[in-house]
Structure 1
Amino acid sequence: MDLSQVSATGLIADLQSGRLRAVEVMQATLDRIAAVNGQVNAIVALRDADDLMREAEAADRAEARGPLHGLPIAVKDLVNVAGIASTSGSPSLKDFVPDKDDELARRLRTAGSILIGKTNTPEFGLGSHTFNPVYGATRNPYDASRSCGGSSGGAAVALATGMLALADGSDMMGSLRNPAAWNNVYGLRPSWGRVPSEPVGEMFLHQLSTLGPMARSPEDIGLLLEVLSGPDPRHPHGAPGMPVSPVVAREAKGLRIGWLGDWGGAFEMEEGILALCEQALGVFGDLGCQVDVVPAPFDADAMWDSWVDLRSWAVSNSLGPLYEAQADLKDSAIWEVERGLALSGRQIQRASAIRSDWFRSAAALLEEYDALVLPSAQTWPFDVTQPYPTQINGVEMDTYHRWMQVTVPVSLIGLPALAVPAGFGSQGVPMGFQLFGKRGSDADLLNLGTAYHAATQWPQKRPAQPVPMEGTV
């Protein structure tokens, strides 16, 4: 049996029943990494194989510690993991090996998983393209000449190529949703506060980024979300959240789905993206949903102005000390920090007022619709040597991240969003869409996504003319 494509739920069931041993899963994981990682560069800081096999043997001898007992997982390289280089993709941290786990890593260990290394990320997670001066670029497994997205690009590629069955990601401006789309997997940006951030520094003001799970099915997403969820008494915003696992296919008949498309023309989209997403939405129609075209419900320019100010303000808070210490930061990080430091209190208040207006508008719209849909990205995967797209359809992008503006409506107000595969474009590379709902509707989105997954099985399929790549899926 090829364990590289078995679901996390299936692996856990077999480990719990004794049909599989942790050493078998670990050996299969290491073999898969050896076969494909050299071509895609998704797993970094991989631990010594003998040490990992000894941990797996110990897991086989021990009583189950939790729901992920014996499952190998690599953690995104923005999370500190004790004993593993934790660089955030930055030369300033290339030799940093923490002596204690961040809360996410601690929860994974407590659940019984074996932490094998890291997944690659852009420097400090900035930009939706995974490359950095420490480990280099991660490549798209469907076309190695293209970007895999980011910042959770290493995680998405590791899932798509069967090197991992579960992965964690993080999402401020599509960092989990964009790579899920470009690698034909699922990812959940949970309701803000459901998965607590690390309780360090200022903890009250910057409600933008969140941690979340990624997998090859909504059912597996639910398995990891349960492990990551729940309040941390050291953090002021943690919320218990309703249980989501086991995830089951939701009865879709009669549900209303709103298609927002390109936000009334405000979001430039490369050719073929809207058509592919609309074709995928037909699956919801087949399931009995009513799918409506919804006009743009809020001013996109006002939303963007709010977003760039609040984002720069948040980044200047986290990276300001490194900037002031004259650390070697990339241009986009310096731009964000300098913008954030220049903002006045009045500007921040205005940005938050716009965010509040959009939240009220979205809340009203989500009383009419069970879920809303947008594409997960505005471009197809681009040249891996290009830092970011500078234009779409001849329209110049005025910042390094404007080409991901389609993710802002969700990110700005902390709504849950399930990144869902939509299939493949004419060049054989994947695309996806965001299925999002009201705060706290994480379980409903996963259950609806499971009905869609049962009808499509996109992560288990390949394009009609896949780009050949030795040793990949």
Structure 2
Amino acid sequence: MMHELIKLSATEIRTKLLQKEIKPTELVQISIDRINEVEPIINAMPTICLERAMEHAKKIENNDLSKGQGDPGYLAGIPISIKDLVPVKGVRTTWGSPLFKDHVPDKSDFLVERLERNGGIVVGKSNTPEFGAGANTFNDVFGPSLSPWNTKKTVGGSSGGAASSLLSGEVWLASGSDTGGSLRIPGSFCSVVGFRPSPGTVPTGPGNSPFDSLSVSGPMARNVEDTALMLNAMTGYYEFDPYSKKAIPDYLQAVNKPKVPKKVAYSFDLGGEPLDPRVRKSFEEGLKVFESMGSELIEDCIDFSEAHYLIRILRSLKFAAQADRLKNHRDQLKPEIIWNIETGLKLTGEEIAKAELIRAKLYNDTAEFFNKYDLFICPTVMVPPFDVEIRYLDEVEGVKFDDYITWLYYTHSLTLTSSPSVSLPCSFTDDGLPIGIQLVTECNNEYDLLSFSQSFENHNTNTIQTPIDPIVK
């Protein structure tokens, strides 16, 4: 049975913690009890670290945290999950790969250290596809994560375990990451908020590729205010991240005084991409919400005609760095990883240079676009959640795809702009499957994006209260 505190938002829980109405150790136990209850059904967080979490909770209760940057009052002892692509000291971290199925790091990623200094308590590692490649969360180490809305359906990916753990009430907040939509797609498929910030807003490292602006870390939560709370705890300057920012606003202020966007550009299909009729219907409902808010809606779109070419080149270039892994462990890599690496190794200097020039033009075009509009909106995913046994979609509405990433077009196209983007719960299909809507602002304007998102959430009546008990099909 779901504990009453699980039903509260993270911001409500934080207030109770700061007022000493509840203790972090009590919350950790409630979280672990819920994990034990639902994890056999959904497989969202296969690695748990109870003793470590309890030890951290006691330190917060006793004001016994080591000195340094950070404010334990940010999260005040709220249990959170960390995606299994991010090292947590002393906790099994696998990247969803058989190559690392027994790996236990001796150092945490900087993001984990920051979240823990800011009062977050890591209770476990959320499931992810192998090396985060793919938007259906399954791997050969832990198996698939299942949707609490319908256990026959996918939760999306690659932060699918994080979304499922939030939706089912295992934790109140989650961290994830996003290259081609890995926060936003699970957000849409689970009816939670998946927020992709601009590069550098959430610093990570060491050990990552510091100049990679495609992959970012970001927050996931059940509502917009909780998302702002988590983003506050994740941001801040980090000298080893070249994109890191010194001046960071208080994102809770953005949601506490929500603004209505005056001029909103929208697109159903980003220039002619396929779209499931159920998603089209949901997006129309989202447009009506903006109309009810008083926004002026104008059908217009950034030119994404080169996006397919761009994402294939730039994504594969990242994977080319894993050439040694392919050479030495090919038999332990899934086909999608092999395709990524091999595609990257075949790239020519001319192709890479051309891609960088095209992306620069896309960035400039996007900046010009947001000189005209406050906000851009489009669907998050071209389909609702599909059967979990399907690795990826190779066809939508009669349009066939020749790789495993094309069906992610609505999210990876926005990734290329460096703009912050978020998937918000929009509505449901007639058979109860969630569909999200994607909101986008100009680069480095997370503040307005959260403010506009809060306004949409306040006016949208087509969603269902979460968390939920898993619906077994």
Give the TM interval when normalised to the shorter protein. over 0.9
Determine the C-alpha separation between the residues in 2 that align with 1:382 and 1:148: 9
Determine the C-alpha separation between the residues in 2 that align with 1:132 and 1:458: 33
1:57 and 1:44, CA in 2 relative to 1: closer, same or farther beyond 3 A? same
Residues 96-105 or 231-240, more deviating:
231-240
The equivalent of 2:329 in structure 1 is 326
Gaps spanning 5+ residues in structure 2: where?
A: 65-70
Determine the C-alpha separation between the residues in 1 that align with 2:258 and 2:32: 39
Give 1:49-68 correspondences, 5 Å limit.
52-62=53-63, 65-68=72-75
Counterpart AA for 1:410: L
Contact 1:66-1:110 at 8 Å conserved across structures: no
Residues 251-260 or 447-456, more deviating:
251-260
The equivalent of 1:359 in structure 2 is 363
Cα deviation for residue 29 of structure 1 reads: 0.9
The equivalent of 2:68 in structure 1 is none
* SS class of match (1:320): helix
**Once the two structures are superposed, what CA deviation does each residue of 1:119-176 show, in whole Å capped at 9, x if it has no partner?**
0000000000000000100001111001000000000111111111110010000000
Determine the C-alpha separation between the residues in 1 that align with 2:385 and 2:261: 35
Contact 2:428-2:462 at 8 Å conserved across structures: no
Contact 2:200-2:241 at 8 Å conserved across structures: no
Contact 2:375-2:441 at 8 Å conserved across structures: yes
The equivalent of 1:44 in structure 2 is 46
Counterpart AA for 1:115: V
* SS class of match (2:114): helix
Contact 2:378-2:438 at 8 Å conserved across structures: yes
1:411 equivalenced with 2:415 (yes/no): yes
**TM-score of the superposed pair, with normalisation by structure 2:** 0.93
Contact 1:216-1:459 at 8 Å conserved across structures: no
Match of 1:219 among 222, 225, 237: 225
Alignment length (residue pairs): 463
1:449 equivalenced with 2:453 (yes/no): yes
* SS class of match (1:13): helix
* SS class of match (2:131): helix
* SS class of match (2:435): strand
**Once the two structures are superposed, what CA deviation does each residue of 1:47-66 show, in whole Å capped at 9, x if it has no partner?**
24x55445434432336834
Counterpart AA for 1:297: I
Cα RMSD (Å) = 2.1
Residues 136-145 or 234-243, more deviating:
234-243
1:151 equivalenced with 2:154 (yes/no): no
**Once the two structures are superposed, what CA deviation does each residue of 1:63-111 show, in whole Å capped at 9, x if it has no partner?**
6834123211120000000011000000000000001101111111111
Determine the C-alpha separation between the residues in 2 that align with 1:237 and 1:467: 40
1:371 equivalenced with 2:378 (yes/no): no
1:277 and 1:21, CA in 2 relative to 1: closer, same or farther beyond 3 A? same
1:298 equivalenced with 2:303 (yes/no): yes
Match of 2:440 among 419, 423, 436: 436
The equivalent of 1:257 in structure 2 is 264
**TM-score of the superposed pair, with normalisation by structure 1:** 0.93
Cα deviation for residue 251 of structure 1 reads: 5.3
Gaps spanning 5+ residues in structure 1: where?
A: none
1:258 and 1:112, CA in 2 relative to 1: closer, same or farther beyond 3 A? same
The equivalent of 1:92 in structure 2 is 99
Cα deviation for residue 219 of structure 1 reads: 1.1
1:225 and 1:306, CA in 2 relative to 1: closer, same or farther beyond 3 A? same
1:239 equivalenced with 2:245 (yes/no): yes
1:443 and 1:403, CA in 2 relative to 1: closer, same or farther beyond 3 A? same
Determine the C-alpha separation between the residues in 2 that align with 1:320 and 1:5: 46
Residues 142-151 or 185-194, more deviating:
185-194
1:122 equivalenced with 2:129 (yes/no): yes
Determine the C-alpha separation between the residues in 1 that align with 2:42 and 2:380: 22
The equivalent of 2:347 in structure 1 is 343
**Once the two structures are superposed, what CA deviation does each residue of 1:274-303 show, in whole Å capped at 9, x if it has no partner?**
121121121111111111211x43142x22
**Once the two structures are superposed, what CA deviation does each residue of 1:404-455 show, in whole Å capped at 9, x if it has no partner?**
1111221112110021111101221001011001011101010111111122
Contact 1:218-1:247 at 8 Å conserved across structures: no
Contact 1:420-1:434 at 8 Å conserved across structures: yes
Give 1:121-140 correspondences, 5 Å limit.
121-140=128-147
Match of 1:34 among 33, 36, 40: 36
Cα deviation for residue 202 of structure 1 reads: 4.5
1:337 and 1:269, CA in 2 relative to 1: closer, same or farther beyond 3 A? same
Residues 212-221 or 28-37, more deviating:
28-37
Counterpart AA for 2:338: I
Counterpart AA for 1:315: F
Residues 83-92 or 278-287, more deviating:
278-287
